[in-house]
Amino acid sequence: MVDAFVVSAAMLPMGKHRSSGYAGLAAPPARQALLDAGVERGDIDAVFCGHSFGGMLTGQRIAKELGLGGIPIVNTDNACSGGATALHLAQKSVAAGEHDIVLVVGVDKLTQFGGGTLPLVAEDPEVRQGMVMPALYAMRARRYLYERKAEPADLALVSVKARRHGAMNPFAQYQKEVDVDQVLSSRVIADPLTLLQCCPTGDGAAAVVVVSEKVFAAMGRPGMRIGASVLHSGTATSGTRNMLRPEISYHSAREAYAQAGITAADLDTVELHDAFSIAELVYYEALGLCEEGGSLEFLRSGETTFGGSVVVNPSGGLLSKGHPVGASGVAQVVEMFWQLTGVAGDRQVPDAKIALTHVTGGGISGFDHGACAVHIFERAD
């Protein structure tokens, strides 16, 4: 096994790119990532492409625009974890010595659905009963408010923080700060979640170049080592579920910490799956950023923003940056690359050395989530 390194990263500003197809969205950041890495098309050994709604052979259509062909191109659909799954496969291929230089792309285009909630698989028993993702997270929020003695204004604080961070990110879909009153008075989507507590619909693409230790040493450029790469599926259960303890995220994070040889206390910054405001509070505990039951005080204390012990979602997260599903896992890695190489601009986390990304994927009846990917990165000079 050899170490794998991310040596370049690029993404498209997230938003509503209605006139672009999947290849049109993904080709510009992919070209930029290759250019920044200083690699030629002929140097690329494989392409890994994550998406959920791009249809057949999305990766090949993007590769065609880049002039790539005759190499392995792997498409991964793992719902919101699709892009992170593509990185996981890329890391494993490099670590196993199969490839030296690979391109990882994440892309999705949600404006193709014309609005509303994401389409889910109709054969799922809970979907047939009317389950949609905002309703699932609203139930989780209701349980959280009851169990943690919290108020709706506490949920709103997550969105306020996300928008404050996103206001410093030129790649974010929303770049305007909001206050608690604005969050709470926005349109109700699934009580108690209001519009500003739900990630926006949008389109996006992101790309990174992953190389072997041998190539990284020859390049002589700053980058980040992939210290851990963990991918789990959900475990089927029946009966009552604890909606405040997402087992798949809990176990994925512990495995990642063991793999990287660190603890949660070593992290400088985190990009976690905040598709809805309540998710961030639940994942503070699942990732071990605070003790179980301590997420509310952890948020209120300011520990998860600039100046705190670990800056969570400096990009603005999915709530502000946007969440084009298959692109999100790679976009999180792009943000961490910028943070660990010191080029994140106004939102730079001072002296960031160790970072974590976390993304879950989809809802299936009987699973807490369909997939979960956790990556840990270490600055490498």
H helix or E strand, kind and range, residue 90: helix 82-95
CA-to-CA distance for 206 and 120, rounded, in angstroms? 24
CA-to-CA distance for 273 and 158, rounded, in angstroms? 12
- 198 catalytically annotated: no
CA-to-CA distance for 278 and 258, rounded, in angstroms? 27
Partners of 10 in the beta sheet?
207
**Closest C-alpha to 329, from 223, 195, 229, 196:** 229
Please, are residues 115 and 123 in contact by the beta-carbon 8 Å criterion? no
Q: How far is CA 132 from CA 116, 135, 366, in A?
A: 10, 5, 15
Please, are residues 235 and 367 in contact by the beta-carbon 8 Å criterion? yes
Q: How far is CA 352 from CA 167, 268, 325, in A?
A: 20, 6, 26
CA-to-CA distance for 27 and 208, rounded, in angstroms? 12
Dihedral sign for Cα 323, 352, 36, 225, please.
negative
Which listed residue (80, 198, 290, 372) is catalytic? 80
Please, are residues 184 and 156 in contact by the beta-carbon 8 Å criterion? yes
Partners of 311 in the beta sheet?
269
**Closest C-alpha to 132, from 124, 110, 204, 143:** 124
H helix or E strand, kind and range, residue 70: none
**Closest C-alpha to 227, from 257, 251, 253, 260:** 260
Helix (H, G, I), strand (E, B) or coil at 215: helix
Q: Which residues are catalytically annotated?
A: 80
